[in-house]
Structure 1
């Protein structure tokens, strides 16, 4: 095969892994097809200035994955096509892990997923997407609220792109998303009896959060409709638990502070104070006999994302958001 691979000497990635990634990338681009012979060990040693052990280690890894096979006295051959997927999340939290594993669990084994994070940094978002365009079959991107996001994701061919979780800056593109506004209002509305037994309803929307602000608007809409005593706070200085109050927390960092104060004050969630936490995680149903959550179904979101990857058809699906009533409310 007249194909060469580039190995970066100063990269933090091990050389054998760079070679594995380069070969997988060539297969995903159809530069190498099923039945094609890979360059010989000696050829790669010469072209990439690698040791024999490094090349053998890379080929052994590819054999382990079932991507190539060796034929005595002939060489190494591609056994199956690999589809590479670009998955771009904001941060890695417990509920994102549920989403990630749901995607993996619903994909065939010949599809590999490269996971990246942007941490709401627009320069990093731009750099990673720009460098990734043309290298993947599908792009699964978790957007955020920034004026440059739309022009950046427009670099990705529309038929290859899926926006997940937050539909912002993804109008007209395939999306599998949750509703942060009306759906939250409906969850609160359906549980008015449980909420109205508290003296005051507090939404802690911290100044460090990237959670969509529309949740604040619909929280206030709900409280005003039923004339509930309520407030919105943004700092930990304002976050002092009061007996008889109910707290709506959009950050797990604030939930930890809530539980700390409960321990210090001897409050039992669901009795002296109440709490509703945003986003389900595997542990919340066990903490303090169960934390009430408002959450979308991240397992279903992952399944729908996997369907887009496999079928490639345009999709526009809102994943339901529900309130799971537990002892903390």
Structure 2
């Protein structure tokens, strides 16, 4: 007798045949179905779930096409492959994302495969890739971004299969989220090194026009400057970025970090002595560049590990990954 049962969800936006496909894949990912297990017959599903024969045949045909199930004449359909597929959707692939991705893969069992995609903050790409992925994966791991259409698009993914990572935006309390904080955490981490910050004449936050870094960080940076009576400013035009002796810079883009280092070299300024810099997001190389670049960063390795836990064990999951300021010679 089959261990698998199926009921139509009348509130789902998914077509009935897609619901059946999703249910089989999900049962495999949770080990409710294993290789060799028999699925209900077409007649049994028609009787128990009020599906039409065409709908059941269409769903089983698609599962066969993917190699997930096989059929044996006069015996029925059975599970042929236990591999679980996960959809991972990142914004861009930068050095610190490689740390997250590596940790994610390292903490997954061998029978789970991952399809990696990038949206590059392009709404059309975001919508197209998600729409085409619906029903093909047991879990969906997404990096959201600040766009009004994001909620309606991710709403198509069943919440029990969806995990939002990195930026807690466009989420609801019943969604699973593993994220970093870009507001109060910035304030708190800077406060831990207040004395070192105060030795500089000015504290400048370069928030370039091309960045997608959350804007809430600007408000918390300004509050920090006000509360501790610093000479601070926010520069949002990268063309006006001009490194000066005695200034400390907070940079959210590695592109502007390279420009900072170039200008220091051109002006014979020693990072950490003549001008200081704090860079956002740890990468494997920042501890070695110019004897070490100070960073404010969340633990991307832990974020990847928690995302893998969601894939293996399921949700719900709402976890804020801590961030810290690592001081090196550049400060």
The answer to whether the Cα contact below 8 Å between 1:185 and 1:219 also exists between their aligned partners in 2 is yes
1:1-329 matched pairs, under 5 angstroms: 28=25, 34-35=35-36, 80-172=81-173, 173-329=175-331
| Alpha-carbon shift at residue 170 of structure 1 (Å) | 1.3
How many Å separate the matches in 2 of 1:158 and 1:79? 27
Partner Cα separation in structure 2 for residue 160 and residue 214 of structure 1: 29
Cα distance in 2 for partners of 1:250, 1:272 equals 21
- Once the two structures are superposed, residues 53-80 of structure 1 have per-residue CA deviations (whole angstroms, 9 ceiling, x without a partner) of xxxxxxxxx9xxxx99xxxxxxxx9775
- TM-score of the superposed pair, with normalisation by structure 1: 0.78
1:33: Cα distance to partner?
6.5
Deviation sequence 1:97-137 (CA, Å, 0-9, x none): 10011000000000000000000011111111111111100
Unaligned runs of 5+ in 2: 1-21, 38-66, 70-77
Gaps of 5+ in 1: 1-24, 37-61, 69-76
Question: Displaced runs of 4+ in structure 1, greater than 6 A?
Answer: 29-33
- Taking a change above 3 Å as real, the CA distance of residues 227 and 152 of structure 1, as seen in their structure-2 partners, is same
RMSD, aligned α-carbons: 2.3
Cα separation, 2, equivalents of 1:29 and 1:82: 11
Instruction: Confirm or deny: 8 A CA contact 1:28 1:82 kept in the other structure.
Output: no
SS at match of 1:146: coil
Cα-to-partner distance string for 1:196-229 (whole Å, 9 max, x where unaligned): 0000000000000000001111000000111100
Deviates more, 1:231-240 or 1:210-219: 231-240
- Distance of 1:252 and 1:134 partners within structure 2: 37
1:150 counterpart SS class: helix
Q: Name the CA distance, whole Å, in 2 between partners of 1:30 and 1:168.
A: 30
Counterpart CA distance in 1 for 2:267 and 2:177 is 44
Q: CA deviation at 1:237?
A: 2.4
Query: For 2:261, what is the secondary structure of its paired residue?
Result: helix
Deviation at 1:307, TM superposition (A): 0.5
Shift of 1:234: 1.5
Structure 2: how far apart are the matches of 1:30 and 1:273?
57
Following superposition, the deviation at residue 252 of structure 1 comes to: 0.4
TM-score, structure 2 normalization: 0.77
Give the secondary-structure state (helix, strand or coil) at the position aligned to 1:140.
strand
Work out the CA distance in 2 between the residues paired with 1:30 and 1:204. 49
* Cα distance in 2 between the residues matched to 1:260 and 1:236: 14
Partners of 2:167 and 2:179 within 8 A in 1:
yes
The corresponding residue for 1:72 is none
| Alpha-carbon distance in 1 for matches of 2:231, 2:153 | 43
**Deviation of 1:28 (Å):** 4.8
Per-residue CA distance 1:2-36 (angstroms, 9 max, x = gap): xxxxxxxxxxxxxxxxxxxxxxx9x9578997249
